[in-house]
Chain A
Amino acid sequence: MLELRNISYGVAEEGAKKEILKNISFTLEDNRFVVVTGPNGGGKSTLAKVIAGIWQPTEGQILWDGQDITGLNVTERAKLGISYAFQQPVRFKGITVFDLIRLASGKKVSMDEACTYLSEVGLCARDYVRREVNASLSGGELKRIEIATVMARNTRVTLFDEPEAGIDLWSFQKLIGVFEKLHEDAHGSILIISHQERILDIADEILLIADGGLQKRGTKDEMLPEILGSSFRPGCLYMA
């Protein structure tokens, strides 16, 4: 169980302090599928980075089964069981898809096992497993490799930052299938940052984050009508 208590994150900007996250508290129960949504710039990605340990909160505590892990770094939290799929996956030179899957799983993996993860995200494994994770891959390919990598970790908590971003429509259909399967298989708890109605639609719970604060939370039945009817409507409305 992951618990956030009064988490705030601020940065100094032109001499003034800017609060990006304001006093956020919530609990992510085991084996839950939670979607975080809200307008761009509202603090969602920052929240994921704070949970992964990439950024340290300026105030508040993060608890893991009741134990305070606020002071742990990225590696320590990863080892504890937190995975994080980047919104913009990182490119490397020389490191292959197989290397990433092997490092992610933390043990020896066979080519066949690595290929299984790739197939699950809709990539023809044979074509990709030996490829370098470099600029020759498209944004959509990289996103799917990123998802395969965190699936290979199979940890208790997995954070996905806008997995749909940069993915074409055809791939998106497959991606929904991937998340539906992740939900069914109960791969620990999943926290997805997303604007997509179809991802919101498979959530056990939806958190609405805007202006750095947790505005509202509830089941999808409670939240969806309101979100879809409001100015926070997923899609491009709140971009206007």
Chain B
Amino acid sequence: MNQITEHILEEVAALHGIPEGAYNIRENGKSIGRSSTEEIQITTREDGKGLEIRIAAGTKKKSVHIPVVISQSGLKEVVYNDFFVGEDADVTIVAGCGIHNAGNDASRHDGVHTFYIGKGARVKYVEKHYGSGDGSGERIMNPETVIEIGEDGYMEMETVQIRGVDSTVRRTRASLAAGAKLVVTERLMTHGQQHAESWFDVHMDGADSGANIVSRSVARDSSYQKFSSCLVGNAPCSGHTECDAIIMDSAKISAVPELAANDPDAALIHEAAIGKIAGEQIVKLMTLGLTEAEAEEQIVEGFLR
């Protein structure tokens, strides 16, 4: 494992070397390390286009790491990973992707992750995206997450993209059975000429299901962001979606809310706010001795935490 790969693994999966438990490390289109455990089996899909991760029912407090590193300029790949989470399991899944592009050709990773979450199971899913390298080739990532949560299942998804990704279109689709809950926290920062779109389409199909989609983002320089969140209540349920964005320099942001209640007991809320950093916040930090630029950095860092 070279230094670039080590650095990217640290950025996207907080890994220092080989992780404990089940893992698969993918580098430039190939698996460079894989380990299964008794409870968590990682195998190559029959069509060879990705992984199948099977987590046994009742598995408790275990983790799965499946980071992806692309350091070869011009590499483009589409990967399909399917997660089957058994009933009553409780696991953390870390799936980050980092592209280091020192060349002039665009590098691209499109990851399609499908989760089948069993009855009563709990999943924490962490996904970080990161780009580095000083080549002129673009770093492109288009993650697609498809989620099916069974009765009383729970999924918490934490998705972070702070720097280096030139273009991203992220799509998350979910369907929730009775009593199932989905919580999504998205943190996004774009700079330069970057373009980021984030689409959520969540269907609450079962009684007492619930979703909370919260996005905080910062758009700097001439970057562009689009946030679109659609919550559909097909049963008595509660859904909340929130987009809170800081706009800086000459960036552009668009937020598109959509709520659809197909049941009289569906309670759905959408909140969206886009604005500059409040002047009084900057002044307050300046009275503590920070320069205007330092104050902005602190405010942005806190906001994206």
Report whether B302 and A94 are in contact in the complex, using a CB–CB cutoff of 8 Å: yes
Chain A residues whose CB sits within 8 angstroms of the CB of B284 once the complex forms = 86, 89-90
Question: Would you call B32 an interface residue if the criterion is a C-beta within 8 Å of the partner chain's C-beta atoms?
Answer: no
Q: Distance (Å) between the CB of A185 and the closest chain B CB? A: 21
User: Residue A153 at the B interface, CB < 8 A?
Assistant: yes
Pair A90/B278 contact, Cβ less than 8 Å: yes
B285 within 8 Å of A (CB atoms): yes
Partner pick for B290 among A54, A75, A92, A96, CB 8 A cutoff: A75
Contact A90 B281, beta carbon cutoff 8 Å: yes
Residues of A in contact, count (CB < 8 Å): 24
Q: Which residue of B lies closest to A146 (CB)?
A: B284
Cβ of B93 under 8 Å from chain A: no
- Please, what's the 1-or-0 string for A156-193, where 1 marks a CB less than 8 Å from any CB in chain B? 00000000000000000000000000000000000000
The contact of B298 among A95, A106, A153, by CB within 8 Å, is A95
Give the CA-CA distance A95 to B301 in the complex, in Å: 8
Query: Which chain B residue has the least Cβ–Cβ distance from A104?
Result: B288
Q: Does A135 lie at the interface of the complex (its beta carbon under 8 Å from any beta carbon of B)?
A: no
The verdict on A103 contacting chain B, using a C-beta distance below 8 Å, is: yes
**Residue from B287, B289, B291, B303 in contact with A93 in the complex, judged by beta carbons closer than 8 Å:** B303
- Report B-chain residues with C-beta under 8 Å of the C-beta of A100: 288
A120 to B299 CA separation, bound complex (whole angstroms): 26
Q: Is B57 an interface residue (CB 8 A)?
A: no
B287, A92: Cβ atoms closer than 8 Å: no
Q: Does A99 contact B (CB under 8 A)?
A: yes
The digit string for A68-102, where 1 denotes a CB below 8 A from any CB of B, is: 00000111001100011010011011111001100
Contact A99-B302, Cβ < 8 Å, known A74-B287, A75-B292, A83-B287 = yes
Complex contact B302–A95 (CB within 8 A): yes
Whether A84 contacts B303 by the Cβ 8 Å rule is no
A104 CA / B292 CA spacing, docked (Å): 15
In the complex, A93→B217 CA distance in Å? Answer: 12
**Interface contact tally, CB-CB below 8 A:** 61
- Proximity bits, B197-236, A CB within 8 Å = 1, else 0: 0000000000000000000100000000000000000000
Inside 8 A of A93's CB, which chain B residues have their CB? 216, 244, 302-303
- Chain A residues with Cβ under 8 A from B290's Cβ? 75, 103
Q: Is the interface of B mostly helix, strand, loop or mixed?
A: helix
The residues of A that contact B286 with a CB separation of less than 8 Å are 73-75, 78
Question: Is B298 a contact partner of A99 (Cβ separation < 8 A)?
Answer: yes
Q: Is A103's CB under 8 angstroms from B298's CB?
A: yes
B260 at the interface (CB under 8 A from A): no
C-alpha spacing A84/B280, complex, angstroms: 13
B216 CB contacts on chain A under 8 angstroms: 93-94
Q: Are A92 and B299 in contact (CB under 8 A)?
A: yes
* Cβ-based interface call for B269 (8 A): no
In the complex, the answer to whether A52 meets B287 with C-beta atoms within 8 Å is yes
Question: In this assembly, does B18 line the interface, its C-beta being within 8 Å of a C-beta of chain A?
Answer: no
Report the nearest A residue to B280, measured CB to CB: A90
Asked if A149 is at the interface of the complex by the 8 Å CB criterion, the answer is yes
Residues of A within 8 A of B305 (CB): 94
CB nearest to A91 among chain B residues: B281
B287 pairs with A84, CB closer than 8 A = yes
Residues from chain A with Cβ under 8 Å of B298 in the complex: 95, 99, 103
A90 and chain B: residue at smallest CB distance: B284
Give B250-292 interface residues, CB cut-off 8 Å to A.
Answer: 278, 280-281, 283-292
CA distance A96 to B285 in the complex (A): 13
Chain B's nearest CB lies how many Å from the CB of A227? 29
Do the beta carbons of A78 and B302 come within 8 Å of each other?
A: no
Q: Is residue B157 contacting chain A, with contact meaning CB distance below 8 A?
A: no
Interchain nearest-CB distance for A46 vs B (Å): 15
Q: Which residue of B lies closest to A49 (CB)?
A: B283
Distance A84 CA – B286 CA, assembled complex (angstroms) = 10
Provide 18 A-B residue pairs closer than 8 Å at the C-beta atoms, listed in order of the A residue.
Answer: A54-B287, A74-B283, A74-B287, A75-B292, A78-B286, A78-B287, A78-B289, A84-B287, A86-B280, A86-B284, A90-B278, A90-B280, A95-B298, A95-B302, A103-B288, A103-B298, A149-B288, A153-B288
9 nearest CB pairs, A to B: A94-B302, A95-B302, A74-B286, A78-B289, A90-B284, A94-B305, A94-B303, A84-B287, A104-B288
Binding site for A on B (CB under 8 A): 216, 244, 278, 280-281, 283-292, 298-299, 301-305
